Amino acid sequence: MGYEVHGVIRRCSTFNTKRIDHIFEKLNLHYGDLLDSSSICSLICEIEPNEIYNLAAQSHVKVSFELPEYTTECTAIGTLRILQAIKTSKRENIKFYNASTSELYGKTRCNSQNEDTPFFPVSPYAIAKLYAHYITINYRESYNMFCVNGILFNHESPRRGETFVTKKITRAIANICKHTQCVLTLGNIDTYRDWGHAKDYVQAMYLMLQQNEPIDLVICSNEQHSVREFCEMSFAFAGIYLQWIGRGINEVGVDQHNKVVIKKDEKYLRASEVNSLLGDCSKAKRILKWKPTYTFPKLVYEMLRSDFQELALPIDDYDTCLARYAIYRCAETVKRQGSIEV
């Protein structure tokens, strides 16, 4: 696309660029912080950007209960600082994208969520994002700025941080197969999420800033899967077939040799849990001419393969893994129903 890409990084004692090493030489990185208005203003004046993508936040939901003030300062007020810096720069050609989130819907009673679904946030992170969402709209309407919110549902990739459940699962499976870890410990595995691939969603983000008029859109896969299903699929891809024993917090997942590989711990439960999210991106499909290209199994496989390759472990091709999971699901159906129609 011919873009000159600039990014903002925070000063810390260790310089970790692991997830961007493959493109590091192509980037222009600057020190800055959303807690520091002066750094934001200076960078906008220095770089003179045409597009700004605000992807920065304290984005871990559970951590937001432990650090509510910091989460609000960074995620909510940080967005305000960027918007105000754009406004005072008087550069009318700047287009601003704000990463909104499906966590805004929280405990909504709607079966699926679109741009018109009422918000019901239930975590400090989601409430901070709600402020960021509405302040973006406020600056758009008050100052005629090109500002948009992308309400992105969960998006994953091999670069996902290891404190997030999807990466925690695939990394643990690789470690279990490497015999450096025995058990994966999780919290609530019966929450349902709309998971997509970050690559697809970044394409949608880009397209949102190429429109003639600013508009807020839901970006999602239109599919819903549980953490339990993510576990079953990713373990099956690795040749480990889960059986569930027990109930509640005492439930465990055992492999085909009756060895416990998954257990639960209350410390991973959230103070207020969002049980189910399912997006409806029909508006984005119509306006952006966009649709997700990754299926859920393909996403799971790519994440698992990356972790296996990092540990120099062999993994079968995608079709073989998918067939293995299909056999596992068929066997589970037979166990539950006693028979299966072919």
DSSP 256-289: TTS-EEEEE-GGGS-SS---B--B--HHHHHHH-
Q: How far is CA 81 from CA 34, 132, 136, 150, in A?
A: 7, 10, 11, 19
Q: Name beta bridge partners: 276.
A: 192
Residue 131 dihedral angles phi and psi, to the nearest 5°? -60, -45
Residues tagged active-site: 101, 103, 125
CA gap 203, 154 in Å, rounded:
15
Query: Closest Cα partner for 320 from 238, 256, 225, 255?
Result: 238
Query: Closest Cα partner for 94 from 57, 53, 40?
Result: 53
Query: Closest Cα partner for 167 from 317, 325, 19?
Result: 19
Coil vs helix vs strand at 29: strand
Cβ neighbours of residue 174 closer than 8 Å, sequence gap 6 or more:
238, 304, 307, 308, 310, 311, 313
* Residue 10, CB-side half-sphere exposure with 13 Å CA sphere: 10
Structure token pair of residue 274: 């969002």
Query: Closest Cα partner for 123 from 167, 66, 174?
Result: 66
- Alpha-helical runs (H) found in the chain: 37-47, 61-66, 68-71, 78-89, 124-143, 165-177, 198-208, 227-237, 282-288, 296-310, 318-337
Q: How far is CA 79 from CA 33, 71, 76, 134, in A?
A: 11, 12, 6, 10
Assess contact for 132 and 121: CB atoms under 8 A.
Answer: no
Residue 313's Cβ-count burial label (10 Å; 0-12, 13-18, 19+) is middle
